[in-house]
Amino acid sequence: MSVSLQKGQKVSLSKDNAGLSKVIIGLGWDEVKRERKGLFAPKPQPVDCDASALVLSNGKLVNKADIVYFGNLRHPSGTIQHMGDNLTGAGDGDDEQIMVDLANVPAEFDRIVLVVNIYQAVQRNQHFGMIQNAFIRIVDARNNTEVCRYNLTEDYSGMTAMIFGEVYRHNGEWKFNAIGQGTNDPGLGELVNRYV
């Protein structure tokens, strides 16, 4: 049975799910419908959200290779894999997925922070107020059963990036923390600097 989380709530992934070793982290969102501003106005550009996983050691990002995103789909350890970029967010279900082999993540990594930024947000004058129904969920890869879900319900107008949540190791078990923090970082590079 899936646990529905609130902002700031933490849940153990391993305690209630015996044998859980591989998870699918699904992230999803829908674009708010926007109208053209006149007959000859250009059609609004789709909002292109990009999900990334920042793989941290002692809470810090120590190597560029520890950023798993559309430009680096697989972590060097082979335990974290981005399943590819969705340019529009169209369709039901997860828009982007990141697979994590929790059982084999090297011991030096204690935290995987899951972030989403809007591609070229500043240039395109786009922000998370143009996004609705955003969520992050953890799915047991053995049977595709949803373990937990966090629906981001706040108004994030003006925010160009978002820290959705984090999977972290604590006392030998994996947990998930629902964060839901919007930022004004214009891109992934600036967002990453928060963890250097």
Q: What is the DSSP string of 123-188?
A: HHT--GGGEEEEEEEEEETTTTEEEEEEEE-S--TT--EEEEEEEEEETTEEEEEEEEEEE--SSH
Rounded Cα–Cα distance for residues 172 and 141 (Å): 20
Domains plus CATH for the chain? 3-35+43-195 (2.60.60.30)
**Residue 153 C-alpha from the chain's centroid:** 15
Question: In the chain, what are the helix, strand and coil shares in percent, each to the nearest 5?
Answer: 10, 45, 45
Q: What is the pLDDT of residues 101-146, one digit of tens each?
A: 999 999 999 999 999 999 999 999 999 999 999 999 999 999 999 9
**Dihedral-angle region of residue 84 (phi above 0 means left; psi in -120 to 50 means alpha; beta otherwise):** left
pLDDT at 14: 82
Walk along the chain (196 residues) and give the pLDDT tens digit of each residue: 789 999 999 999 988 788 899 999 999 999 888 776 677 777 778 888 999 999 999 999 999 999 999 999 999 999 999 998 665 545 568 999 999 999 999 999 999 999 999 999 999 999 999 999 999 999 999 999 999 999 998 999 999 999 999 999 999 899 999 999 999 999 999 999 999 9
Cβ atoms of 102 and 13 within 8 Å: the answer is yes
Predicted structure pTM score? 0.92
pLDDT at 84: 83
Count the neighbouring beta carbons within 10 Å of the beta carbon of residue 128: 26
